[in-house]
Chain A
Amino acid sequence: MSAVPEQRRSWFADADFELALVQLERERPQSLWRAARERLRRRASVRWSLRFLIGLCLLSFLAPLLPLPSPAAINLANATLPPQLPWPAPGALDFEPQYWELGPLDAQMVSLRTSLFGKWRTGHWLGTDALGRDVLARVVWGSRTSLLVALCAALTSLVIGASWGALAGLSGGRVDNVLMRIVDVLFAVPTIFLVIFLLSVLDAPGAGEARLSREQIFFLVVGAVSWLSMARVVRGQVLELERSAFVEAARAAGASTPWILTRHILPNVLGLVVVNLTLTLPSVILYEAFLSFLGLGVEPPRVSWGLLAAEGAEALNPLESYAWLVLAPGCAMAATLLALSTLGDGLRDALSVTERHER
């Protein structure tokens, strides 16, 4: 082998560019993410969706702190009150802290609420159900289940789905084949049947004390079926990126796989993952509603939107429709899903502008 010339003279007179570099580095370049955020902010529908979702999250997290009536307090004297307009003055002073078993944080918040507001509570703004429970309080508390399910599904599709897809796309060959065939089979199996199986079966009586709570099982199962499409999408994108000329160029320059992963594949997949996430959340929330309707979701006295809507649907009768019992949770769900899909569409448009090829 011929030795590398000891002191090769550089082709470039690097020092000539000191001044230019200093000037250029004084500029604050626009990053793609920032540009996307600005594009996003320019759309009124996206702004409103975002505000709504943030508000909803706050409302649902702070539910125990708000001066709402208790969602579980039964008062047959007040059964099936319709919503009233104008809203009755929030004057009632009969709040009783009746809840199901709350977590420590929620219990803290409830005691803080009683010390803040005492027995004072808001009126039955959205009416009451057949047992006299306040619909507004139930809808607000019910949002917690829906959002938690959404969060859980988001986490699994992020953790399992994205890494499953990335692993398949990156390793290729036999590993890819096996991983994706598993996804294919799970896709072909009508998952709802498996879910119903799992839910009813894992929750069997006589399963002993150590078993998971119904709710935990529910979250596990919903999470377990919601990562499939994410795995597919991520794998497709990773495969495409792996074959792309810019990754080849980096390879030719000697880039290692971790380098390519962090510098090229991750940034390019991230946007897609975010968009996919916002667009799959609506279907997960619907899924929760569906399972709750069948009696496989959360158990009374706990509440979820699906459960509330199911109760409302069952209360329908030709004499007295009690329409608000269906409409209140239905509208809450519809507004949330609409906001999520608007946000998802907006994100997709905002993030894809930079990748448009002018061909």
Chain B
Amino acid sequence: MNAPLCEVRELEVRFAARRRALFEPRRWLQAVRGVNLRIERGAVLGLVGESGCGKSTLARAVVGLQRPSSGSILIDGVERASARGKQLRELRRRVGIVFQDPYASLDPRQPIREAVLEPLSINGFAKPRTRRLRVLAAFEAVGLAANLYHRYPHELSGGQRQRVAIARALVLEPELLVCDEPTSALDLSVRAQIVNLLADLRQRFGMALLFISHDLAVVRKLVDEVAVMYAGRVVEQAPRDALFDAPQHPYTRALLSAIVTPHEGERRERIVLAGEPPSPLDPPSGCAFHPRCPARADVPGERCASELPMLSALDARRLRACHLDPTL
């Protein structure tokens, strides 16, 4: 009974890349390369990283839209890939997802009431009348006015649409809500509203969140724990305050130095990363971050370029994957 709500074990996801020539060996685009994560009941885990680092693929795997190439995803101890029938339906109910772009995630030909109703009908939940009541209840929960009931997505603002998308995920009463950059397509002012809404919903229903974002300011407001991904791997994981106050991985430091923190008075030195994020088709040897790493000179020898740093515990709650001497 003590299994975490969601556990990701050694997850790998790769895609076959299009061959450029007829006789070229098949190349693999490896989006996720061995990730381990745990999300406890009611906890909020933030997952940050640049675009293309594999965080969205991870999210899709957690909700079952992407089949893992190896490794497993356990929901409350049940292996996602091998669940069938009733068990699978129960899994789908327990894990919901909110997508990034509220313009694309709602069917333009479907009134929003139908969009919110759909998960209930698909899963044959209760009686039709109760389902429609549930839609209104969900509208209320996400702060949508009831008079929008008959509207179509194109009649709504971006923020309202994202509320519809959240309501759609909420009606099945999920224990884990995966939010794949739910705010990055929204205007700044609306962004805060949606973050507040998610925080409220979490308070009210006690569900766990897997919150994926590249916006650290948003992550900081919402999450308990943060995992930082780079090139398909988690490079640092720590409780929120520990991570934001004392980042241990050079990449995390660089990310954090880029956010503006007016209320804290402190001024971090801005670390500007050179170069591009690595291509998932052929990542650098050793530590994938080493070509861009500002602290590489502090590691003796060519260790960074040749040896993959393992994600290991720095102390009771912090994990880091770096060859750098922890005392530095």
By a beta-carbon cutoff of 8 Å, the part of chain A in contact with chain B is 1-2, 4, 8, 10-18, 20-21, 24-25, 27, 29-30, 32, 244-246, 248-255, 259, 263-264, 267-268, 354-359
Contacts and interface: CB of A to CB of B under 8 A. Distances in A.
B105 A356 contact: no
A342 to B, nearest CB: 25
Given A264-B107, A268-B109, A24 B133 contact: no
A16 B108 CA distance: 29
Interface in B87-135: 87-90, 92, 96-97, 99-101, 103-111, 115, 118-119, 122-123, 130, 132-134
B118 A255 contact: yes
A208 B1 CA distance: 81
Contact of A24 (B63, B64, B119, B149): B149
B141 interface: yes
Among B1, B78, B87, B149, max chain A CB count under 10 A is at: B149
A15 B136 CA distance: 10
Nearest to A24: B149
Nearest to B78: A1
Given A2-B3, A356-B154, A254 B123 contact: yes
A196 to B, nearest CB: 37
B272 to A, nearest CB: 30
6 contacts: A14-B137, A27-B150, A254-B119, A255-B122, A263-B107, A267-B109
A12 B134 CA distance: 7
Nearest to B137: A12
A20 B136 CA distance: 8
Given A253-B92, A354-B152, A14 B133 contact: yes
Contacts of A254: 88-89, 92, 119, 122-123
A30 B103 CA distance: 21
Contacts of B115: 246
B108 A355 contact: yes
B302 interface: no
B146 A24 contact: yes
Contacts of A10: 173
B105 A21 contact: no
Instruction: List the 4 shortest-distance A-B pairs measured between CB atoms, nearest first.
Output: A29-B150, A12-B137, A245-B105, A253-B119
A254 B118 CA distance: 10
A23 to B, nearest CB: 8
Contacts of A253: 92, 96, 118-119, 122-123, 168, 172
Interface of B: 1, 3, 60, 63-65, 76-78, 87-90, 92, 96-97, 99-101, 103-111, 115, 118-119, 122-123, 130, 132-134, 136-138, 140-141, 146-147, 149-150, 152, 154, 165, 168, 170, 172-173, 204-205
A214 B140 CA distance: 67
Nearest to B206: A11
Contacts of B204: 11
A245 B101 contact: yes
Contact of B136 (A21, A267, A355, A358): A21
B177 to A, nearest CB: 11
A330 B130 CA distance: 62
Q: Which of A8, A13, A252 has the most CB of B within 10 A?
A: A252
A348 to B, nearest CB: 15
Nearest to B3: A2
A12 B120 CA distance: 14
A18 B133 contact: yes
Given A248-B99, A255-B122, A268 B107 contact: yes
A250 B118 contact: yes
Contacts of B119: 253-254
A21 B109 contact: no
Contacts of B104: 244-246
A250 B122 contact: yes
Contacts of B77: 1-2
A263 B204 CA distance: 32
A8 B93 CA distance: 13
B118 to A, nearest CB: 6
A102 B140 CA distance: 67
Nearest to B90: A4
Given A244-B104, A249-B97, 4 more contacts: A12-B141, A17-B140, A245-B104, A356-B154
A179 B183 CA distance: 40
A355 B204 CA distance: 35
Nearest to B173: A11
A71 B133 CA distance: 66
B173 A264 contact: no
A229 to B, nearest CB: 23
B92 A268 contact: no
B150 A24 contact: yes
A139 B126 CA distance: 62
Contact of B105 (A15, A246, A263): A246
B9 to A, nearest CB: 16
B107 A259 contact: no
B118 A2 contact: no
B101 A16 contact: no
A1 B86 CA distance: 13
B150 A354 contact: no
Nearest to A9: B173
A354 B137 CA distance: 27
B96 A354 contact: no
Contacts of B64: 252
Given A11-B205, A14-B134, A14-B137, A357 B146 contact: no
Contacts of A24: 136, 146-147, 149-150
Contacts of B60: 248
Contact of A354 (B88, B108, B132, B205): B108
A203 to B, nearest CB: 44
A18 B135 CA distance: 11
Nearest to B88: A254
B22 to A, nearest CB: 15
A263 B114 CA distance: 10
A263 B107 CA distance: 10
A275 to B, nearest CB: 14
